[in-house]
Structure 1
Amino acid sequence: MSVLTLGLNHTTATVDLRGRFAFAVDQLAPALQGLHHNLHQRLRLQGPHNAAPEVALLSTCNRTELYCALGGLGSLGGQGRDLHHAAVLWLSQVGQVPPDELLRHTYVHEGGHAARHAFRVASGLDSMVLGEPQILGQMKQAVREADSAGTLGTTLHQLFQRSFAVAKEVRTSTEIGAHSISMAAASVRLAAQLFEDLRHTKVLFVGAGEMIELTATHFAARTPKAMAVANRTLERGEKLATHLGAQALRLAELPDRLHEFDIVVSCTASSLPIIGLGAVERALKARRRRPMFMVDLAVPRDIEPEVSQLDDVYLYTVDDLSAMVQTAGERRQAAVQQAEAIIETGVQGFVHWLDQRTTVPLIQALHQQADAWRAHELARARKQLAKGDDIEAVMEALSRGLTQKMLHGALAELHSADARHRPEVAASLARLFLRGDVVPGRAPRGAAHPTEMPPAPPEDEA
């Protein structure tokens, strides 16, 4: 097939390794263009006839995935190996990880397997939290970015549109979503295990994106004593703070204000940690060793990992929160089975679509050949009419010329076939031209019994 997926996720790589391959939204367009150019150049080096690839890039806190397709039709074959190799090299350069090490933490899917993976991701079946809906929006954002960057072609467009349709059917036809626990809810549950009553806590949210907004909404429902939002852009932070009834802080105020908060939840797009070990040590000293609960939902990390080694600090990452995911129950398993059945139907439809596309060049060539024959016969008929030839005779000649051209190749194939293959060729011709209403070796009822091929079209007519 002509689709390939290369990725790493929460089941194959640690949060630190995933952080090396994380892309902020504003980084997606240049990354896509660089990836597209890189893959195209490498494929051309492998073979001058290799087609230009289509590419899309999905990057979340739990996964980074490259979706690739070739403009050519049919099986990837050797080009698939070239594409896989080129994608691995590009990704290893981005994350500065040796290709051999990267391969130990990545997965690759091709054709129908790539479609199945995309459908499972969109439906929330491949998420750390089963059935979570956020990934669908992230996939749609990835498609918009690829489309804007000019790297999304027909094949990937079809793959993702079918992914969204399958995800919608899974969500409306099963109870997958009813049994999910979000990262935000998991954060609140862990905090409630540490503090006796969240109403007596002060909560700081670092960042103002979708994940922070969702988590803050969950914490706000527990009516903590005070909440604050620290963000690099004060205006955006103030907007979320106003919505929550919280205080807005500048990110620069964080080191001096950190000690005031019992709970800190951080999720920004920073490429480097913004809460360091020293800042947390000073905060603990000012708090007189009262415990701090910290959640780092960012990839790459917002909080230096060494913070987890401090006494009186309870630091959780997105990987740690996976322990909060409550699996089980027959209802959940039944919902998963229903979802998998819906996905499998979608995969079969996509594979069928891909298979049909392999015949497009043949169909185009047939149409072009038929149009050329038609144009030639029409031109000859017009000349005969211009000379004053009988209209009926001209029409007869036109129809006979077209018939001879259409049948000549098929009948030549039949007569040139050896005795062993002739019945198979005859049966194929019967299906193509007679729609099965004939027995090979016997002429149809009411037809003449020609024993010879019609004459070949003249050279100037072929």
Structure 2
Amino acid sequence: MSLFALGLNHHTAPLAVRERMTFLPESLPDALGELTRARPVQEAAILSTCNRTELYCATNDPDSALDWMAQYHRIGAQELAPYIYRLEHQQAVRHVFRVASGLDSMVLGEPQILGQMKQAVRLAEGAGTLGALLHTLFQRSFAVAKEVRSTTAIGANIVSMAAAAVHLSERIFGSLSGQRVLCVGAGEMMELCAAHFAGCTPREMVIANRTLDRAQALASRFERSDLKVGAIRLDELGERLAEFDIVLSCTASPLPIIGLGMVERALKQRRHRPIVMVDLAVPRDIEGEVDKLGDVFLYTVDDLAQIVDSGLEARQAAVVEAQAIIDARVANFLQWVQAREAVPAIRALRGHAEDMRAAELDRALRAIARGESPERVLDTLSRNLTNKLLHGPTRMLNEAPPQAREQIEGLVKRLFPQHGGDA
């Protein structure tokens, strides 16, 4: 059984492919259960974000796991193949540590990925698909991420996606003080966006969400004397969209919630005044055809990546330090795996020795009960144990072919250093 990291990310696949491979958080427990029941996969966890979908698993058949991923999303394996990477053992461990530390993120050093990975672990634990191997891997990855962030500058000078959205809006409108902003969704990303835009004091800001209570709760956090913040339900989008100059969206909807027709109607009501639309969701919340409208400036997560490179040079200098930490921790983890793999053999060896000890002790006690000299019984006991314990190594040395004898002699010296002269 080997450890694998299988998947695709923003380095290997465009947004149009990534959005077809996403897993909704609420679907992950059932998906993991289906995978481990239907395929020869002993342990599994899935990390699905805007920029990556990765399956971490313990299996001897990674091809079967990849086939399952393709079938689950109704994508042909051949169609998916150009975008997929398959990392095994040491490469997989290094990759997981890099992901947790933010070294593989679209925004180098961004901290959100660690929380997303922890959520993936909780879901796998709840599904019962996390065994000792993956559990230890993830706990080590969290420790590595903490060490990297506390001892390097990998997280310094980060320009977040939310800050990039502000920058794009200012590029179109200049000052945001006269603009109305709509935030669609009430998750972590929209909370960050709301915080950044609230700092620019727009004319008005509104939170739209399926659950009105959650939208109102988020809105109340940013309401102040110089900023009006409201809340609406998602089903009000169609009739309210025309009011807003800037629309940010990031929901977990599997299908677009803002379509071409809805935007066309809004533009008509606005008399074709421009709208900035920033779609931070994967799968996308806004239909791609909207980008063809002349008065809409539509940006996706991949578009924002060009802006968030600000401050990258300083963080890249920290990558070398971070990678050195990761390499050392990868070696430590592989040592643990190697020791774990030796446990069955060690258990069998000690069990065999215990059986011999118990048999010789029983024989010695019966001899003493018959009145034999304790000194003689103990001498016989020690000799018998010595002979039995050394019978295997002695026979191996005597019967070893010449080409293998040197290797076996070296092993014996390592096993019994006092007698091999290497103590």
TM over 0.5: yes
Q: 172, 178, 198: which one pairs with 2:176? A: 198
Q: What residue identity is the alignment partner of 1:347?
A: V
Identify if the C-alpha distance between structure 1 residues 163 and 434 changes in structure 2 by more than 3 Å, giving closer, same or farther.
closer
Is the contact made by 1:131 and 1:179 (CA closer than 8 Å) also made in structure 2?
no
8 Å Cα contact 2:412-2:420 kept in structure 1 = no
Q: Is the 8 A contact 1:112 1:350 kept in 2?
A: no
Provide the residue aligned with 1:19 in structure 2: 19
Partner of 1:438: 421
Deviates more, 1:349-358 or 1:368-377: 349-358
Q: One-letter code of the match for 1:94?
A: Y
Residue in 2 aligned with 1:114?
92
Partner of residue 410 from structure 1, selected from 393, 397, 401? 393
Q: Which residue is equivalent to 2:5?
A: 5
Q: Specify the alignment match of 2:52 in structure 1.
A: 63
| CA distance in 1 between partners of 2:318 and 2:289 (Å) | 40
Q: 2:202 aligns with which of 214, 224, 229?
A: 224
Indicate which of 364, 367, 371 corresponds to 2:350: 367
- Specify the SS of the correspondent of 1:299: coil
Amino acid across the alignment from 1:221: G
Distance 1:179 1:65 in 2: 28
1:149 and 1:286, CA in 2 relative to 1: closer, same or farther beyond 3 A? same
**Contact 1:2-1:69 within 8 A present in 2 as well:** yes
Question: How big is the shift at 1:103?
Answer: 0.9
* CA distance in structure 1 between the partners assigned to 2:88 and 2:162 by the alignment: 34
Shift of residue 196 of structure 1?
Answer: 1.7
Query: Which amino acid counterpart does residue 57 of structure 1 have in structure 2?
Result: I
8 Å CA contact retained: 2:154, 2:316:
no
Q: Which residue of 2 aligns with 1:449?
A: none
Give 1:372's aligned amino acid.
Answer: D
Other structure's SS at 2:43 match: strand
1:299 CA drift (Å): 0.9
Residue by residue, what CA displacement relative to the aligned partner does 1:396-439 show, whole Å, maximum 9, x if unpaired?
22222211110111111122234554454334323322436539
Q: TM-score normalised to the size of structure 1? A: 0.87
Aligned with 2:326 (options 343, 348, 368): 343
In structure 2, the partner of 1:183 is: 161
In structure 1, the partner of 2:370 is 387
Match for 2:183: what amino acid?
F
d(CA) in 2 for partners of 1:66, 1:287: 45
Please list every run of 5 or more consecutive structure 1 residues that lacks an aligned counterpart in the other structure: 41-51, 71-78, 445-462
Query: For 1:61-120, what per-residue CA distance to the aligned partner results, in whole angstroms no more than 9, with x for missing partners?
Result: 1110000114xxxxxxxx3xxx22111111111221110111111111111111111111
Q: How has the CA–CA distance of structure 1 residues 431 and 276 changed in structure 2, closer, same or farther, with 3 Å as cutoff?
A: closer
- Corresponding position of 2:226: none
Structure 2 residue 124 is matched with structure 1 residue 146: yes
Q: What are structure 2's unaligned runs of at least 5 residues? A: 224-228
Distance 1:371 1:101, change over 3 A: same
Verify the 8 A CA contact 2:357 2:385 in the aligned structure 1: yes
Amino acid at match of 1:181: V
User: Counterpart of 1:185 in 2: which secondary structure?
Assistant: helix
Count of residue pairs brought into register by the alignment: 418
CA distance in 2, matches of 1:123, 1:419: 51
Q: Does 1:357 align with 2:340?
A: yes
Whether 1:318 and 2:301 are equivalent positions in the alignment is: yes
Residue 292 of structure 2 is aligned to residue 309 of structure 1: yes
Q: Which amino acid aligns with 1:247?
A: G
Determine if the alignment matches structure 1 residue 172 to structure 2 residue 140. no
Percent same amino acid among aligned pairs? 55
Match of 2:188 in 1: 210
Question: Match for 1:257 among 240, 248, 251?
Answer: 240
Root mean square deviation of aligned Cα? 1.8
TM-score of the aligned structures, taking structure 2 as reference length: 0.95
Q: How far off its partner does 1:356 sit? A: 2.4
What is the rounded CA distance, in whole Å, between the counterparts of 1:338 and 1:65 in structure 2?
Answer: 25
- Aligned partners of 1:214, 1:311: CA distance in 2, in Å? 29
Check 1:296–1:436 CA distance in 2 against 1; reply closer, same or farther (3 A cut): farther
- Conservation of the 8 A alpha-carbon contact between 1:130 and 1:181: no
Which stretch has the larger CA shift, 330-339 or 132-141? Answer: 330-339
> Partner letter of residue 255 of structure 1?
G
- The answer on whether the counterparts of 1:5 and 1:110 sit within 8 Å (CA) in structure 2 is yes
Matched-pair contact (CA < 8 Å) for 2:367–2:377: yes
Regions of 4+ moved over 6 Å: none
What is the distance in 1 between the residues matched to 2:71 and 2:404? 54
